[in-house]
Amino acid sequence: MTINYSDRIPNNVDLGSNRTLQRALEHWQPEFLKWWEELGPKDFQVADVYLRTATSVDAKGWATYGYVRMPEYRWGIFLNERDPNRRIGFGDNFGQEVWQQVPGEYRATLRRLIVTQGDTEPASVEQQRMLGHTAPSLYDLRNLFQVNVEEGRHLWAMVYLLHAYFGRDGREEAEELLERHSGDADKPRILGTFNEPIRDWLSFFMFTYFTDRDGKFQLKSLAESSFDPLARTCQFMLTEEAHHMFVGDTGINRVVRRSLEVMHELNTDDPQVIRNAGAIDLPTVQRYLNFWFTSSLDLFGSETSSNAASYFANGLKGRPDEAQYEDHIAVEQAYTLELPDGSGGTKSEQIPMRNAMNEVTRSSYVRDCEIGVKRWNRVIEKAGHSFRLALPSTRFRRSIGNWAGVPTTPEGVPMSAEQFAAHKQAWLPSESDQTFILSLMHGVHQPGKMAAWIAPPDRGINNNPVDYEYVKLH
């Protein structure tokens, strides 16, 4: 399926044949660009950035690389190819034909899901807008901008669905996606994590590892949707998403490697000595990990959710990789949850499987998060140190769901609020941690140069060397 690049809005949905839709989107386009200029990456709009742009939806060779000024990036609408034999893969309508239009009874719910997904995309660009100034290298600066333009494209993906399938309400929702802003006191973004500030690159790497990975799992769930245009859009978004998580995974890996180098050079694991040498001590990495992992756990919603049950029953949102499950109806199964008992202990409770879908997805997510942690720990082990990074329990520091507001240790053992307050500094980034991390953040903008707190990457982008001029600043 070829992409039409001669249209003002690149697309593979034959936009030209629907003049009304085309005009509506062309009306939204300048609003988007205005938003990008105002709330996109600050001060780098005229830089030439070595970016990949989607030019095909073929899994092999879907992107083209070249220098682009970000406001000239060809944001467009790309859906995976339609499979004419695709059937509903789960829920009450299992086996029936998928929908090419939105069934009236699910209109409000589907719109809400699409808006929630869409809202996160520009939110992340807003959160990251100041990071260009403090990029540890041109390689990293380029990766930041790659992530940013693609999140912009993911917003386009959702806006297309709103315009094409939800009429006037959809157009209004598309406008509001540019009116809510991350951290805004009056009109914040919908989901918690997307209102957290990202002021430093350690947080950026944690966000791209943990929060973009929530994106992966939510998109996988929506890629199962019976509403076929949503499924196809999410399938293509997942292709782009992989690089974002790579940025987080390798970013954390490089921070750890640099820390180990300094530990080796100075023959110490004293955090203060490592900090004095300009690197980030591993306990601080763990505290940032604790913060962003737990915030991202909340993005899966409550452990017990009637919303999730009806999304599943109605075929709107499945489980990630639904095909791996034997039973796609899931009415006869139960799921056992470990919940707080209200008096400092835990109790087991069985709930119907459909109500546990958020927890099922969260568990798959946690398993996926473990893979990177194991890799980082192998690096630490090889360097001969006993320190290990670890994911905290899914009960720790939760703000959504049954464990919300229940103080526990990182291992998930309930404790009193006083005990929690006494330990908080050891478990979560303190003000002095944040001040220290911010003190390391200085832009390194010469080709091949790297900030002292991070090791260079193993390789560059698209077979270019690490010292390639990934961003040409003017």
- CB of 376 closer than 8 Å to CB of 306: no
Please check whether residue 168 is in contact with residue 177, taking contact to mean a CB–CB distance below 8 angstroms: no
Cross-strand bridge partners of residue 50: 67
Work out the number of other CB atoms within 10 angstroms of the CB of residue 51.
Answer: 23
For the bound state, the minimum distance from the C-beta of residue 235 to ligand BYC, rounded and expressed in Å, comes to: 14
Q: Check residue 314 for interaction with ligand BYC (CB under 6 A).
A: no
Q: Could you say which of 307, 346, 409, 430 contacts ligand BYC (CB under 6 A)?
A: 307
Q: Tell which one of 235, 250, 290, 358 touches ligand BYC (CB under 6 A).
A: 358
* Residue 298 touches ligand BYC, criterion: CB under 6 A: yes
Our CB check for ligand BYC shows the closer of 192 and 340 to be: 192
Restricted to residues 185-204, the positions that interact with ligand BYC (CB under 6 A) are 191-192
Q: Which residues in 180-196 are b (16+ Cβ under 10 Å) and which e?
A: bbbeeeeebbbbebbbb
- Per CB under 6 A, which region of 159-167, 286-294, 304-312, 427-435 contacts ligand BYC? 304-312
Tell me, by CB under 6 A, how many residues bind ligand BYC: 26
Q: Which is nearer to ligand BYC, 259 or 302 (CB)?
A: 302
Q: Of the candidates 120, 233, 286, 294, which one interacts with ligand BYC according to CB under 6 A?
A: 120
Determine how β-strand 334-340 pairs with β-strand 471-472.
unpaired
Contacts of ligand BYC in 137-166 (CB under 6 A): 151
- Mask for 247-286, x = binds ligand BYC (CB under 6 A): ----------------------------------------
CB 473 within 8 A of CB 160: no
State the DSSP code for 350.
E
Number of H helices, E strands in the chain: 13, 5
412 binds ligand BYC (CB under 6 A): no
Of 339 and 444, which has the nearer Cβ to ligand BYC?
339
Query: Residue from 53, 124, 310, 355 that binds ligand BYC (CB under 6 A)?
Result: 124
Q: Distance between CA atoms of 317 and 296, rounded to whole angstroms? A: 19
Residue 299 binds to ligand BYC (criterion: CB under 6 A): yes
SS3 178: coil
Q: Given the rule CB under 6 A, which of 69-77, 295-303, 417-425, 451-459 is the region that contacts ligand BYC?
A: 295-303
Tokens 């993005």 found at: 299
3-state DSSP call for residue 407? Answer: coil
What angle, 0 to 180 degrees and rounded to 10, lies between the N-to-C axes of helices 167-176 and 19-39? 10
Task: Measure the CA–CA gap between 212 and 447, rounded to whole angstroms.
Answer: 27
CA nearest to 462, candidates 153, 98, 63: 63
DSSP class of 207: I
In whole angstroms, how close is the CB of 40 to ligand BYC at the nearest point?
14
Part in contact with ligand BYC (CB under 6 A); list of ranges 108-116, 138-146, 389-397, 408-416: 108-116
What tokens were used for 427? 């478990």
Binders in 78-97 for ligand BYC, by CB under 6 A:
none
Residue 57: CA atoms inside 13 Å, Cβ hemisphere, count?
22
Other C-beta atoms within 10 Å of 237: how many? 25
Nearer Cβ to ligand BYC (41/262): 41
- The answer to whether residue 355 forms part of the interface with ligand BYC (CB under 6 A) is no
Stretch that binds ligand BYC, among 36-44, 130-138, 179-187, 214-222 (CB under 6 A): 214-222
Q: How far is the CB of 265 from ligand BYC (least distance, A)?
A: 36
Binding of ligand BYC by 226 (CB under 6 A): no
Cα separation, 395 vs 356, in Å, equals 16
Of the candidate residues 156, 201, 209, 300, the single one contacting ligand BYC (CB under 6 A): 300
Query: Smallest distance, Å, CB 198 to ligand BYC?
Result: 10
Q: How far is the CB of 418 from ligand BYC (least distance, A)?
A: 27
Selected binder of ligand BYC within 137, 235, 305, 314 (CB under 6 A):
305
Given 10, 40, 170, 215, the residue binding ligand BYC (CB under 6 A): 215
State which residue has the least CB distance to ligand BYC.
301
Minimum separation from the CB atom of position 146 to ligand BYC (A):
13
Q: Is 218 in the site for ligand BYC (CB under 6 A)?
A: yes
DSSP 434-459: HHHHHHH-----STT---TTSPPPSS
Nearest one of 245, 195, 247, 203 to 220, comparing CA atoms: 245
**326-348 as b/e, with b when 16 or more CB fall inside 10 Å?**
eebebeeeebebbbbeeeeebee
Residues in contact with ligand BYC by the rule CB under 6 A: 112-113, 116-117, 120-121, 124, 151, 191-192, 211-212, 214-215, 218, 298-302, 305, 307-308, 317, 358, 400
